[in-house]
Structure formats: C-alpha cells, structure tokens
Amino acid sequence: MKKIVLFVNLLFSALTIFSQNNIQSFSINPLMATTLETQNGSRVEIPIMAFVQNGDTIRDDITLEIREILDQDEMLYAGVATETKDEVLISNGMIEINGFYNQQPLEIMPGKTLDISLISTDGRANQKVYTAVQSEEEIVWEKSNIPLRIDTCKNAIPTIVTQRKEVTKERYKEWKKEEESKGYEKRLFGGKSLSIGLGKPKPKRYFINVPVDTIWTCPINTVQYNRFEISSFGFYNIDKPMPYKYRVEFNVLTEFRDFKCFALFDGNRVCVKGKLSAKGFWFRRFPKNKMIRLLLYKRNHEKETVKVFFTKVNSSSKTIRIDQFEEISEGAFRLRTKRFQ
C-alpha cells in the first residue's frame, strides 16, 4: 500500500494518505486548520474544530475519506450515472467526502463549512452543484442551492455550441438584420431559408442556429477549479442538463437482466443507467441520431472477474439485442472501460 506524507500550512502538520479502490484516506488533526490535496490535484480546506460526533466536538485525530470521479471510465467502473429523475446531466466532476472517528461517522459542526476545489481541465457555462440521493439501490442527482465559483484556467478559448431552430419568416428577417448589424467578425450563428419539395413549389422554411451552451478546454499544463462549500458530508457533482432537441427511447433486449447496463454519449461526460424491463433494459432519454456506447456487465467478487459486453450503436436504431458476453479480470475490465470512452 502506497504511503505518502504531505506537509500543509506553515505548521507542517503531517498527513498520511492511503489510496484503495479509488478512495483516498487522510488522517488529520482537527485542532489545526488544514488543506488537503488529493492525488488528482483537488483541494479540501478544513477550518479548525470542524467536526462533531453525537453532538460532541472532536479534538483527537480523525479520518477523512475522499473519492473523486472525474472521467467516464471512472463513472462506469463505479456504476454511477449522471441523471436526475427527469434529465440527463453532463458532469464536470464528482467528489464524495466522509469523516470518521473511532470508525464511526462524523458530522460537520453547524456553522462550519469545508471549502472544496474540484479540479478539471475543461468547463461549461451555467454549471450547478448537484447532490446525490439514494433511490432503489442507485444514485439520483438533485440540483442544490450551493453557490459554485469557478477559477477558470487562463487563456481558455470558449466555443459556442448551437442548435438549429425553425422560426417564422418574420423572426428570420429580424435575426438577419441583427446579424448584419454586428459586423462580420461578431457573427456567431448561421441561418438559412429552404424551399423543400419536388414538383409543386412548397412554402419556404426558415432556420437559425441558436446558442445552447458555451464550453472551453484548458490549454496544456493548465487546470481550473470548481469551488463550493459544503456543510455536510456526502456525494457532490458539478453538472448541467445535456442540451438536445429530440429524445428517443432505446431498448436493450437480453436475458441477462441481473447485469448492469450503462450508456455513454460520445464527446461528453455522460453516463446513463438502463432501467429494468420485461425484456431487458430501456432508456427513455437518448438524444436522437447519436452514437451511443453500451456496456453490459456483472461482477463476480469472489473470482475477481467481470462478465461483460461492449458495443457501439446509433440511438436512432432504437433497439439492440445482446445474447453473449465475455468473462475478463477486474484489471482488464478497468482497462477496457478506460479505452471505451
């Protein structure tokens, strides 16, 4: 087991980190204000005397356990989806943090907060902090009221993501006039008028591209931090709803209903869990005509192996049948999920 000693603050408080199953364990002195840094580079700032147990302030060394999920392969490996009850979310990183004293859970003292700086190499506008709610043996995310501050990486160039929208002729003319008044270098969104049909002329249809998102990627060797404060231990996720115009249902037909079924969307940190159906699994919120990466798997903890099936499919096909799998080691499964992004 790897052991690392960190020195934080000017008082050189010794901290011991253990890492197992993606959970990092820190032993800290609550009588000192402390800043933890995870193996990925995220930070947790802890004020002095911040923990209680059964109403009593804890003064002896305590243990903090931190788990970060920053990529799609980690979501798959942990079996954590990015969904609310009604929406698919795009994640910009998750962090779970819990405290223990004498192997019993702690609480954060009322009036105290831990300052979280969750590391990331990209970002999106209008992200929010979501909290995890356990529902029928799975995690469902709920939007919180926790303020989010972003320390954006330097020199990141934002990209406007657009979606085509049909509008009236009058709105198209207004849009065209607005665009022409901006000057060429500021015209961000395209538009067109179409006459569709053969033979007898059809009425023209008018389309403009409207902005639905703003994204950016940090330059090489730079990062950003999503910063927020927590007053209770738990599981937190930086998210925003995935923008898409059309939704389709998708069904996985299989007899392996005791497996877990997940789907990834290309180019996004999105992980959706299939719901059990009479004939396998179903997804009710797929974007139309998108490449989907499907994973069906079942762990055997005694043998440390995984029965698994990987495939890619277009969401517009609406149905896929799976009647086979391969059995691989846990290590190979972790490697395959990483390559599967």
pLDDT at 2: 36
Q: Interior CA angle at 210 toward 72 and 187, to 5°?
A: 110
Residues 150 and 13 in one domain: yes
Shared domain check, 163 and 147: no
244, 151 Cβ separation under 8 angstroms: no
Q: Are 81 and 193 in a shared domain?
A: no
For residue 294, the surrounding DSSP H or E stretch is: strand 291-300
* CATH number where 127 lies: 2.60.220.50
Q: Which of 207, 241, 275 is the last residue of a domain?
A: 241
pLDDT of residue 154: 84
Residues 45 and 115 in one domain: yes
Q: How do the pLDDT tens digits run along the chain, 341 residues long?
A: 333 333 333 333 335 444 456 899 999 999 999 999 999 999 999 999 999 999 999 999 999 999 999 988 888 888 899 999 888 999 999 999 999 999 999 999 999 999 999 999 998 889 999 999 876 567 889 999 999 999 988 888 888 888 888 889 898 888 888 877 776 555 555 555 555 444 556 678 888 888 888 889 999 889 999 999 999 999 999 999 987 777 888 999 999 999 999 998 877 789 999 999 999 999 987 888 888 889 999 999 888 899 999 999 988 888 999 999 999 998 898 888 877 65
Distance CA 315, CA 319 (A): 8
Write out the residue range of the structural domain in which residue 254 sits.
Answer: 247-339
Please report the DSSP string for 156-208 in residue order: PPPEEEEEEEEE-HHHHHHHHHHHHHH-GGG----EEEEE--SSSPPPEEEEE
pLDDT for 136 equals 59
Residues 94, 69 contacting (CB under 8 angstroms): yes
93 with 228: CB under 8 angstroms? no
Same domain, yes or no: 150 and 182: no
Same domain, 109 and 128: yes
Q: Is 153 helix (H, G, I), strand (E, B) or coil?
A: coil
Same domain, 231 and 107: yes
Domain match, 199 and 223 both: no
pTM of structure: 0.83
C-alpha to C-alpha distances, 74 to 216, 332, 334, nearest whole angstrom? 22, 14, 9
User: Which residues lie below 8 Å from residue 71, measured CB to CB, with a gap of 6+?
Assistant: 269, 338, 341
DSSP string, 38-83: -TTS-EEEE-SS-EEETTEEP-S-EEEEEEEE-SHHHHHHHT---B
- Is the CA virtual torsion 118, 123, 125, 131 positive or negative? negative
Other CB atoms within a 10 A radius of the CB of residue 254 amount to: 20
Distance (Å, rounded) from C-alpha 153 to C-alpha 220?
10
Instruction: Please report the pLDDT score of residue 53 as a whole number.
Output: 96
Per-residue confidence (pLDDT) for residue 10, from 0 to 100: 31
In this structure, the answer to whether residues 127 and 27 fall within a common structural domain is yes
Q: Are 35 and 91 in contact (CB under 8 A)?
A: no
The reply to whether 64 and 122 lie within a common domain is: yes
pLDDT of residue 7: 33
Calpha distance 196→212 (Å, rounded): 26
260 and 167, same structural domain? no
Of 85, 40, 46, 39, the C-alpha closest to 64 is 46
* Same domain, yes or no: 307 and 255: yes
- In this prediction, residue 6 carries a pLDDT of 35
Number of domains in the chain: 3
CATH number of the domain residue 326 falls in: 2.60.40
pLDDT of residue 208: 86
The predicted pLDDT at position 8 comes to 35
